[in-house]
Each structure stands twice: as structure tokens, then as C-alpha cells.
Amino acid sequence: MSKPRRALIVDDSVVFRSFMRRCLNDIDGIEVVGTAGDGKMALRQIEQLKPDVVTLDMEMPHLCGIEVLQALQEKAPGVCVIVVSCETETDAKRTIEALESGACDFIIKPKASSPDAQGALTKQLSRYLFSAQSVGKVVRGKRLMRQTRAASYSKPVSFRPDVVAIGSSTGGPAALSAVFSMLPGDIPVPVTITQHMPKLFVQSLASRLNKESKLTVQVAEDGMVFQPGHAYIAPGEIHMEVVRKGVGLAAKLVDGPKMHHCKPAVDRTFYALAKLAPVVKTLAVVLTGMGADGADGGKKIREASGYVIAQDEASSTVWGMPGATVKAGAANDVLPLDQIAGAISRIAGGK
């Protein structure tokens, strides 16, 4: 029998720490080894108790959540941090910053009026904790950019896409930041992004990427015509397809059931692009994330003479989505994160 994963709860609210303990105690394979009410205490507890996973509040006395994450880059780079966030604009901005600083994922605090708040949060925690710990690894900040040898598949003699479509989930904000900070602003095709994230957090992600990138990054709106040198993020809680509009491409926002427990789903975007082939050629990129979203859609794009890049295991926070893409035989290339922006630039330019 495997040893339980050791969890530390960090929150300045005594009531919420108690609530979180009850949730974690309901999860088989998790042992709560301690709690902390502020950032300084959290760092001491992490050093002494050596937890595998930390649930981290963002707003705390002495040291805030971001400062704790920054300290962990040196003190405990292997610990999995799950940010606990409220669904507010301020918390959304802080959460995106935390995800770019190395947090593995985030959960949203349930409202007091929510039915079965404990059950809902326990389900969220169970999914994230076990996926992050067993499927992949945590890599923080610039460690995402380490050099790694890549396994490469057969390349077409020449390929020039009409659109670049990127999908990501767990670890995605940090990976997207790394890629977009390295992309030139004169990419001759539009870029779409599907990141598993609620609506309010998608807006914060778009704003942050827009500041970090030479491309113009914005949340897509229904009917919005895509422009070269621009990136369009699928809004939260609705799927984004890509359709022809005149001689160009445009966003089509589609309500409907979740795919892979997600909305927006990467596959929904990829399926729409595969249907446009061979008139529209797609360069698809599957970045870090739990689950298998993007693998089947990526396969359809490759079968329709598109081109697919999957992030490699060593640089992924969770090698679920890119790993499933590789296992499905959909990937033309498997590349470390630090090589993906360069590959996009070369392929989009027809080189």
C-alpha cells in the first residue's frame, strides 16, 4: 500500500482551515499534517513537515500567497501548490500571477449558500491533487524553460498554416506566458488559445498575456474576425469553434455540454478546424494539462494534413493532455517548452 500524500493547509481563516481539513480528510490517500494561518508560518511548516501538497490562500498576514510561492522556488521547488481563490476580479488577477509563479492549479472557494459545499470542494481537491501528483510534476517559474532533448516525429516537406491553435490546462498559464513572451509580434497568422478556466480568470489571463507578449491578446467574442499577429482566448464557460468568414476566419461561440469535463474544451476547437481542412491548414499545439482533451482533435487535425506539436513530459506540469496526444499518434513533434515558440514562428512563416 502506497504512503498517503502529506497535505498542509494555509489560510488565515480558522473557520476555512477547519472546513478544508474536513474536505481533505474525506479523500483517501491524503493525510493532513498541519495548518498555517499566515505566510511566514507556512514556510516554517513546509520546512519542518515536508508536505507533498499545500493548499494556499492568496491574501494573508506577513507574507501573501505570491511571496510564499516565490520563496518556495528555492526552499521547496517540488511541492505541489493548489491556490485557493475567491471568484472576484482581484483574486482572479492574483491567481493568474500565482499560476505563472509556479502554482500547480487552483480551486474556487465555495459560497456559504452553495448546496453541498463540502462535497463539491472535496471532489475538486481530489481531482486536482491526484492528477498533479501522480501524472506529472511541478516545475516553477524559469524552471519551465530548462533545456530538454525532444523526441521528434516525421515532418512534412513544407507546411504553412493559416492558423495556430493552442490548448492547455493544468500548468497552462505559466506555459502560455513562457511561449507568448518569446513569440514575435509579426506572426503572419492568427492564434487561438483554449485554456481550461472560468470566465473571470480567462479575462485576467488575457490581460496578463497581452502585457507580456508582442502579440495582441484578447478574449474572443462571437463573430470576431481573426487577424494575423493577434491571439484570441476562448471565453470561460462556453466552447469556441473557428469558422470561415469571407476569406478569413472568425470565432463562433457555442453553448453545449462539457467535453472531458471542460467548457471550453480544446477538442471542440480542434474538431472545428479539422473540418475546415484542406482549405484551412492548422498548426495545433497541446501544452501541459491533466486529462486527454486535445488528443483526439489533434489526431483529426494531423489526419487532415495539419501539423501538431505536443509539449514534452520533462517540461510539463502534468503530462496528461500532451501525453495523450503523443500516445494517440497525433504529434508531429514533441518539444520542450523552451523550443515551442521558435517552432511556431518557423512553421507559421513557412520555414
Per-residue model confidence (pLDDT) at position 68: 94
Within the chain, all domains assigned CATH 3.40.50.2300 are found at: 5-134
- Which residues are marked as active site? 169, 196, 293
Architecture of the 5-134 domain? 3-Layer(aba) Sandwich (3.40)
* pLDDT tens-digit map of 90-143: 999 999 999 998 898 999 988 766 778 899 899 888 887 766 544 334 444 434
Type of residue at 314? A
Per-residue model confidence (pLDDT) at position 132: 53
Secondary structure class of 152 (helix, strand, coil): strand
- From the list 215, 104, 200, the residue with the least C-alpha distance to 166 is 215
Give the DSSP H or E segment for 8.
strand 5-10
Per-residue model confidence (pLDDT) at position 144: 44
Per-residue model confidence (pLDDT) at position 124: 85
pTM tops 0.85, yes or no: yes
Within the chain, all domains assigned CATH 3.40.50.180 are found at: 144-348
Fold of 144-348: Rossmann fold (3.40.50)
Q: Residue 287: CB partners within 8 Å, gap ≥ 6?
A: 166, 167, 168, 171, 172, 175, 176, 179, 311, 316, 321, 322, 337, 340
Per-residue model confidence (pLDDT) at position 319: 93
Mean pLDDT by groups of 10 residues along the chain of 351 residues: 87 95 94 96 96 93 91 87 92 93 89 81 83 45 43 61 97 96 96 96 97 97 98 98 96 96 97 97 97 97 97 94 98 97 94 72
Question: Across the strands, what pairs with 232?
Answer: 192, 218
User: In whole numbers, what is the pLDDT of the chain averaged over residues?
Assistant: 90
Question: Across the strands, what pairs with 165?
Answer: 192, 284
Per-residue model confidence (pLDDT) at position 75: 85
